[in-house]
Amino acid sequence: MTRPTRWLVLIYKVPSEPTKWRAAVWRRLKTLGAVYLQNSAAVLPRTDETERALRALRNEIVEKMSGTAVLLSSDALVGEHDIVSAINEARNEEYEEIRDKCADFLAGIDKEIVANHFTFGELEENEEDLAKLKNWFSKVSARDLLGANGRAETEHALSECAEALTSYAGRVYAVADDHL
């Protein structure tokens, strides 16, 4: 992916009470994939989507939270590499969390196989767990605007999970067929 030439910087101040407002702003910025340059100053690559989201957040801070907020579009004169590194590091941490959950998923499948627990209920539960992992990956990859290097490894881990689930499903079907 190409590196952006423009950045969006949201500088804001939210009243200290209620504390839920501060947490809400932090969560929204995290969901967007922003990183903090310092307290109350977050940066994102400028895209149409990030601009709309930050404009909406700025409006919410000012109108609903009685705070102040400025949204700037800027170039990085110096330090752009640091911003790119921070954003990619944040995405890589998220990708690592997904891979950790993939390892847990695979261990769970192995546990069911060792226990000879081949039920449709367990299969459905594992299908739901894999769907959650895939959905989480979709959200992280959607905010991976700068091409963090953990993406490919995470895609591979999810593929391994899908293969393990397919194999487990085959065993569930075989057990069900044997009981007919």
Range 103-111 contact pairs with CB under 8 angstroms and sequence separation of 24 or more:
103/157, 105/129, 105/130, 105/133, 105/161, 105/164, 106/160, 106/161, 106/164, 109/164, 109/165, 109/168
SS3 string, 96-158, reads HHHHHHHHHHHHHHHHHHHCCCCCHHHHHHHHHHHHHHHHHHHHHHHCCCCCCCCHHHHHHHH
2 within domain boundaries: no
Do 49 and 27 sit in the same domain of this protein?
A: yes
Residues 115 and 71 grouped into a single domain: no
Is residue 48 domain-shared with residue 133, that is, in the same domain? no
Considering its fold, how many domains does the chain have in total?
Answer: 2
Instruction: Examine residue 38 and state whether it is found in any structural domain, yes or no.
Output: yes
Say whether pLDDT at 5 is over 90: no
Q: Are residues 172 and 87 in the same domain?
A: yes
Is residue 58 in some structural domain?
yes
Same domain, 29 and 97: no
- Is 125 within the bounds of a domain? yes
Q: Does 89 share its domain with 161?
A: yes
Quick one: pLDDT at residue 22? 95
Quote the percentage of the chain above a pLDDT of 90: 93
C-beta of residue 15 within 8 angstroms of C-beta of residue 67: yes
Q: At what angle do helices 151-178 and 80-114 cross, to 10 degrees?
A: 20
* Domain of residue 56, CATH code: 3.30.70.240
CATH classification at residue 160: 1.10.132
User: Which of these, 102, 108, 103, lies nearest to 125 by C-alpha position?
Assistant: 108
pLDDT tens column, 49-85: 999 999 999 999 999 999 999 999 999 989 899 999 9
pLDDT band with cut points at 50, 70 and 90 for residue 7: very high
Residue 4 per-residue DSSP state: P
**Residues 41, 9 contacting (CB under 8 angstroms):** yes
* Domain range enclosing 142: 82-178
CA–CA distances in Å: residue 7 to residues 3, 33, 55, 70:
10, 13, 14, 14
- pTM value is 0.88
Helices 48-63 & 19-32 angle (0-180, nearest 10): 180
pLDDT > 70? residue 3: no
Instruction: Mark whether 115 and 61 lie in a shared domain.
Output: no
Same domain assignment for residues 157 and 111: yes
